[in-house]
Amino acid sequence: MATQTVSAEPVSLDPSRRARLAEFWYYFSENRGAVIGLAVFLILVALAILAPVIAPHAPNAQYRDAVLLPPFWAEGGRAAYALGTDAVGRDMLSRLLYGARFSLFIGIVVTTLALTGGIVVGVIAGYVGGWIDTAIMRVMDIILAFPSLLLALVLVAVLGPGLTNAMIAIALVLQPHFVRLTRAAVMSEKNREYVVAARVAGAGPMRLMFRTILPNCMAPLIVQATLSFSNAILDAAALGFLGMGAQPPTPEWGTMLAEAREFILRAWWVVTFPGLAILITVLAINLMGDGLRDALDPKLKRS
């Protein structure tokens, strides 16, 4: 059985997968905002990867002769510091470029943690059912009873401030959404004929749960994953802003905003640019999420 599937896969699945991808792209590209979001996101990824190459200065290098310089187009600005410098003479542009690495890294790690945790727990709850399901869902209700940022803040207070702990806390807070979605999808799939057929053919519970059922539940999870990605970036920046996330001098955007707070009425650029970077990143991901939902949600499909 197992060998048969493996040998059959490359031949039979490839064309259909390509067709599915083409269909997906057809619907996704109909949404202009989603395509713009994807383009911006790809640019951000490129900037983050290339940060060491394109950044004009080291992110933590302090230039004593260039403290709180405005951007180059404003009076007193210098071309060497295109977006100005902060209160200790660090180049804003370089810090923002390195900050993109942190934000995208946070998004990836948190979403991966929340998604894998949520899927495993959700599949078990939906597939096994009974008291295990009830117990799991009650625990998720408990997590959801707290405002996410408050719970993350308190968790970081327990674990100690820092980026790693902030990511763990945010992943824990976002995870119940994945559990609920997975469970609901698994419950609606598990009595379908193809699952029964696989069971009759002798598939064990692990194979049924993760190979047979799970791939058919992915659409809502992918949409939720993009939402989590942007939420993770926002929450991590908020924790950084509150002094509980990444610690100075890390060029994380929220932490940069926290350091800039006392200069808001004197140097608008130290406040404006890090926040703008967060907004653009989150907006691009949310635009993509809207497009993904349109392309993956069968209810909205017009065909």
Partner 1 sequence: MLRFLLKRLAVLIPTFIGVSVIAFSFIRMLPGDPVALLSGERVMSPERHAQISHQLGFDRPIVIQYLDYLWGILRGDFGTSIANKSSVLDQFFQLFPATLELSLCAILIAIILGIPAGIFAAIKRGSFFDQTIMGAALVGYSMPIFWWGLLLIILFSGILQWTPVSGRISLMFFFPSVTGFMLIDSLLSGQQGAFKSAASHLILPAIVLATIPLAVIARQTRSAMLEVLSEDYVRTARAKGLSPFRVVGIHALRNAMIPVITTIGLQVGVLMAGAILTETIFSWPGIGKWMVDSVFKRDYPVIQGGLLIIAGIIMLVNLAVDLLYGLINPRIRH
User: What are the residues binding partner 1 (CB under 8 A)?
Assistant: 33, 138-139, 141-142, 145-151, 153-154, 157-158, 160, 230, 234, 237-238, 241-244, 254, 257, 261, 264-265, 268, 271-272, 274-276, 278-279, 282-283, 286-287, 290
Considering the complex, what minimum distance in angstroms separates the CB of residue 225 from partner 1? 16
Classify residue 223 as left (phi > 0), alpha (psi -120 to 50) or beta: alpha
**Residue placing its CB nearer to partner 1 in the complex, 13 or 279:** 279
Amino acid at the residue 223? V
List the structure tokens of 131. 């008291």
Considering the complex, what minimum distance in angstroms separates the CB of residue 290 from partner 1? 7
State the CB neighbour count (10 A cutoff) for residue 166.
Answer: 30
Considering the complex, what minimum distance in angstroms separates the CB of residue 202 from partner 1? 39
**Residue placing its CB nearer to partner 1 in the complex, 176 or 212:** 176
Distance in angstroms (rounded) separating the CA atoms of residues 125 and 209: 11
Q: Cβ(169)–Cβ(152) under 8 Å?
A: yes
Q: Cβ(199)–Cβ(127) under 8 Å?
A: no
**Residue placing its CB nearer to partner 1 in the complex, 114 or 156:** 156
**Residue placing its CB nearer to partner 1 in the complex, 159 or 222:** 159
**Residue placing its CB nearer to partner 1 in the complex, 127 or 241:** 241
Considering the complex, what minimum distance in angstroms separates the CB of residue 129 from partner 1? 17
According to DSSP, the residues that pair with 280 across neighbouring strands are none
Considering the complex, what minimum distance in angstroms separates the CB of residue 267 from partner 1? 10
List the structure tokens of 67. 């403290």
Cα 205 to the chain's mean position, in Å?
30
